[in-house]
Amino acid sequence: MKVTEHIKKANGKTLFSFEIIPPKKGKNIRELYDNIDPLMEFKPPFIDVTTSREEYVYVEKDGLLDRQITRMRPGTVGICAAIKHKYNVDTVPHVLCGGFTREETEYLLVDCHYLGIENVMALRGDAMNHQKYFEASEGGHKYACDLVKQIRNMNDGKYLHDVIEADHKSDFCIGVAGYPEKHLEAPSLQSDLKRLKEKVDAGADYIVTQMFFDNSKFFRFVEEAKKMGIDVPIIPGIKPIAVERHLQILPQVFKIDLPEELIHEVEKCKTNAEVRQVGVEWCIKQSKELVDAGVPTVHYYSMGKSSNIQKIAAAVF
């Protein structure tokens, strides 16, 4: 079932969903299951599975370091299929511009269609570690809007190199990202909302936001998006703070602000266990306010760990 169909079927009730990261190659999927198992009691209608782009590693060769490309977390589509089979829950693989050609994207989408996966999240992706700004891969898309168009074209039977008349065309429900505090590269929130509107006009069916810690910023974002003519469901994505260094890492990486009250509470903590509890309590408060506001879904960035998400869900859902 499509994400939008799950939302409609809920008839105004806020749903619970979360995102997981594929294990690194060489790791067993059992660890992933162990973190998903405790969250299934809250009946998530869908689970997102992230995709990692390529990265460079240096391998010694003839006494010299040779730079080679690898993917440390492969298997997004396979993991989606495994989760779908094991838990009978819909999965949402993330599809990236960065690190993929248009042809590779088409192959991935064809595999998803064969496997009965009906939802995809279309994302530009991040710059590589050695890049200051995002650069499109050779033969790949530069903007998420163009990726949305490719997925929508495939739904219409239009492939990269031909048009296929088929009885069973793909019918992907397409999610895209939104940024309550604007994308780090956008000059303003309004200009960022214009880019978001372009993605919706290109065929996006719903929006999941970047993490935020101040609900007022999310509510303002939704209000401004509606003024812009964006009328698809907007799902808030949130994450509990888990360690003290998140005070530095999250603003640096995601260009978001943390509320002074939250900073103060974390700084009072003497251990990361105390920080984790502060993060859980703050996220519970955030979640309850979002549910009271009638958001379609509260979507949690679990980062592959479920114990704190389980505590939050138990208090909210």
CB 295 within 8 A of CB 14: yes
| Inter-residue contact 180 to 171 (CB < 8 Å) | no
Exposure string of 53-73, with b = 16+ CB inside 10 Å and e = fewer, is beeeeeeeeeeeeeeeeebeb
138 as an active site residue: the answer is no
Tell me the three-class secondary structure of 261-296, residue by residue.
Answer: HHHHHHHCCCCHHHHHHHHHHHHHHHHHHHHHCCCC
Written as one string, the DSSP assignment of 130-168 is T-SS--PPTTS-SSHHHHHHHHHHHHTTB-SS-B---SS
Q: Nearest CA to 172 among 123, 125, 122?
A: 122
Contact 96, 51 (CB under 8 A): yes
Q: Which residues are CB-contacts of 179 (< 8 A; sequence separation ≥ 6)?
A: 186, 192, 196, 209, 210, 221
Phi, psi of 218 (to 5 degrees): -65, -45
Dihedrals phi, psi of 108, to nearest 5 degrees: -60, -45
| Cβ-proximal residues to 95 (8 Å cutoff; 6+ apart), any chain | 51, 105, 108, 109, 120, 121, 122, 123, 147, 151
Structure tokens at 43: 């009946």
Beta strand spans in 24-127 (E)? 46-49, 55-61, 64-70, 90-96, 119-123
> Which of 19, 106, 181, 244 is the catalytic position?
19
Active site positions, annotated = 19
